[in-house]
């Protein structure tokens, strides 16, 4: 079945460092891909999305490109801030009638001043 | 504010007790889902609904029941709580179509002792 694999954390960075969180997926069809962010004590918020190959999603300085050839959707940010400290989830929607989301295990990002 | 509302935010149950986690959305979303979040396992789908009167099982449905009598509400029932059901529960909703991400509630932290 469809699945999402993302790098294990925690990822610890200094402020203004470059961030990459790897995400790869397995899917039989043409899924949409998402990154969600969960700040401490809160629910998940949609960070960005891409619906087809070569699409780039972007929001709040974060970017991810839908790479069908490598089945990847890596999250990047050029200069992280302390306020970016959170858990990041990669997810896919299989596009079927149920619109179900399948999540990776999440990656904790800790940014130090 | 429009969104997904979950109640209660925190709950402690004794083994064998029953309870209902409430979820309501005011965005007229057709799709609603319940997920549980456990350390190192990401979010796993418990039950989902594609519209009023229609529900189906997700990845981990055992021990949980749902119903969808209205578009707005999607309660999750624990019939006989077990310590293995200690988790954080999230309700989410969305419009049809794989390109739309889900809107999540703020979660219910449940402890079964």
pLDDT in tens, B29-40: 999 999 999 988
From the CA of B105, how many Å to the nearest CA of chain A?
6
Burial (CB count within 10 angstroms: exposed 0-12, middle 13-18, buried 19+), residue A59: middle
- Are the beta carbons of A75 and A106 closer than 8 angstroms? no
pLDDT values of chain A reduced to their tens digit, one per residue, 113 residues: 889 999 888 999 999 999 999 999 999 888 899 999 999 888 899 999 999 999 999 999 999 999 999 999 999 999 999 999 999 999 998 766 667 888 999 999 999 99
Q: What is the pLDDT of residue A29?
A: 80
Torsion sign, CA atoms A20, A21, A26, A32:
negative
The three-point CA angle A5-B105-B1 to 5° equals 135
Nearest CB to A105 within list B41, B58, B96: B41
Query: Which residues of chain B from 39 to 68 reach within 8 Å of chain A, CB to CB?
Result: 40-45, 48, 50, 56, 58
Q: What is the pLDDT of residue B13?
A: 97
Taking the C-alpha atoms of residue A111 and residue B16, their distance in angstroms, rounded to an integer, is 42
Strand A19-21 and strand A11-14: the pairing is unpaired
């Amino acid at each position: 079945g469809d699945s999402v694999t993302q790098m294990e954390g925690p990822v610890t960075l200094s402020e203004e460092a470059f961030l990459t969180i790897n995400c790869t997926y397995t899917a039989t069809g043409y899924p949409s891909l998402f990154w969600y962010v969960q700040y401490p004590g809160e629910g998940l918020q949609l960070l960005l999305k891409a619906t087809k190959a070569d699409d780039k999603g972007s929001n709040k300085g974060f970017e991810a490109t839908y790479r069908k050839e490598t089945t990847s959707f890596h999250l990047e940010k050029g200069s992280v801030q302390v306020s970016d400290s959170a858990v990041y989830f990669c997810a896919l929607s299989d596009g079927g009638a149920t619109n179900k989301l399948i999540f990776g295990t999440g990656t904790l990002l800790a940014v130090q001043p | 504010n429009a969104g997904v509302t979950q109640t209660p935010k925190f709950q402690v149950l004794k083994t064998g007790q029953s309870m209902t986690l409430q979820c309501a959305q005011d965005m007229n979303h057709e799709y609603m889902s319940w997920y549980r979040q456990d350390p190192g396992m990401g979010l796993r789908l418990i039950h989902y609904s594609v519209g009023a009167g229609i529900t189906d099982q997700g990845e981990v449905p055992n021990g949980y029941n749902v119903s969808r009598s209205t578009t707005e509400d999607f309660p999750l029932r624990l019939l006989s709580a077990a310590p293995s059901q200690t988790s954080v529960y999230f309700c989410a909703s969305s419009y049809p179509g794989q390109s739309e991400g889900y809107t999540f509630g703020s979660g219910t932290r449940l402890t079964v002792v």
